[in-house]
Amino acid sequence: MPAERSPGMDHSHYPYSPLPARSPLIWPSRKPLAIGALVLLEHYEWDPPADAYSLRNSSGGLIKLPAPDYVQLTHREYGHRVGVFRLLDTLERHGIPVTVAVDKLTAVHYPWLIDHLMQRGCELVGHGVAASQLITSKLSEEAEAEIITDCLDTLEKLSGSRPSGWFSPEGVESSRTPELLAAAGVNYVCDWPNDEQPYKMTTPVGDLVSLPLFLEVDDEFALWHRRASLASWEGMIVGAATRLHMDGQTSARHMMLTLRPWLTGQPFRIRSLDRALSQVMQLEGVWAAQGNDIVSAFGES
């Protein structure tokens, strides 16, 4: 529906809230900045269902090739086979507990990996069925609800606990998604990169917390779509964290890094992340946390 020209948002998911007008956000031990990492395990199907929607400019591979596009499919598969372990090792070395968004097909076809993530203490968040089956307004409400519960049920069955967080495949939602997530018992959603603090979303069936990711330093956004140099990306991460740490002295901030194993997990990229985190973690009083911890602390602040 087109916007009506009146104060506030042109949708009902959350009210407008200018950051300076909010009461100060306080993290545990009054730390100014929470740092989190959302690692994405996304599966691109070899042969997606005919009616499924995927991004026109989906990343990986070379140019868009006629199917079967071995280049794109195997480039992405690299993350599940090799890259994810480099990311986990690097994040753990810097003391950052990892949050991992896992789609249903990854969970079903890589059960070894799910066990491994649980053994390493990762928090899993729901991530749809596959990166080649996006949640869009073209789906019926029933089909969308089915994707959400199918993913959550599968992750619960294979990991032993039901995810409380959600990140839609490729960050694509329908206008119904927040309500359907709340109805499915999801506590927080990462689809809206519009803030430096978590905030409350409201739906007819209950509240939800929005935990914004930091889109500008998202590896795909910066390194793939914008083709930033690695040195530039490293500088963006450190520069953003440094400023958020300063601004967080008056009202705390969070910074969720979005990392793809097939992209930042490549041998030549992992070193840039490693260097950036070395600097970020030297900032006084950084709180490294999982999505769920940040959202809980937001609820208690």
Partner 1 sequence: MALPPHRVDYLPMADRPKISWPDEAKVALWIAPNIEHYEYLPPRDPRRNPWPRSPHPEVQGYSQRDYGNRVGFWRMLEVLDEYEVRCTASTNLAVFEHYPDIGKAMTDRGWEIMSHGIYNTRYLSSLTEEEEREFYVDCVDTLRRHTGQDLKGMLGPAVSNTVLTPDLMAEAGLIYHADWLHDDQPIPIKVDGGPLVSVPYSIELNDVPVFLHHHDTQEFVEMVKAQFDTLYEEGGTSGRVMALALHPYLMGMPHRIQGLEEILDYLLGHDGVWQTTASEIAEHFIEHHYEEFVDHAEVISAVRDAS
CA angle centred on 103, ends 272 and 170, rounded to 5°: 60
Which residue's entry shows tokens 């950052």? 96
CA distances from 241 to 244, 291, 297 (A): 5, 17, 19
Q: How far is the CB of 242 from partner 1 (least distance, A)?
A: 23
Q: For residue 265, count other CB atoms closer than 10 A to its CB.
A: 25
* Bridge partner residues of 14 (DSSP): none
Segment contacting partner 1 (CB under 8 A): 39-47, 143-151, 236-244, 285-293?
Answer: 39-47
115 contributes a contact to partner 1 by CB under 8 A? yes
Nearer to partner 1, 27 or 221 (CB): 221
Helix (H) or strand (E) holding 35: strand 33-41
d(CA 287, CA 225): 30
Nearer to partner 1, 47 or 300 (CB): 47
65 contributes a contact to partner 1 by CB under 8 A? yes
Within 222-241, the residues that bind partner 1 by CB under 8 A are 227, 229-231
Helix (H) or strand (E) holding 288: strand 286-288
Within 179-208, the residues that bind partner 1 by CB under 8 A are none
Helix (H) or strand (E) holding 256: strand 253-259
Q: How far is the CB of 295 from partner 1 (least distance, A)?
A: 29
Tokens standing for residue 103:
């789609």
Segment contacting partner 1 (CB under 8 A): 74-82, 138-146, 182-190, 238-246?
Answer: 74-82
Nearer to partner 1, 43 or 245 (CB): 43
SS3 of residue 243 by DSSP: helix
Segment contacting partner 1 (CB under 8 A): 172-180, 206-214, 267-275, 280-288?
Answer: 267-275
Which residue's entry shows tokens 């927040």? 178
Q: How far is the CB of 93 from partner 1 (least distance, A)?
A: 13
Contact residues: partner 1, CB under 8 A: 43, 45-47, 61-62, 65-68, 70-71, 73-75, 77-78, 80-82, 85-86, 105, 109-113, 115-116, 158, 227, 229-231, 266-272
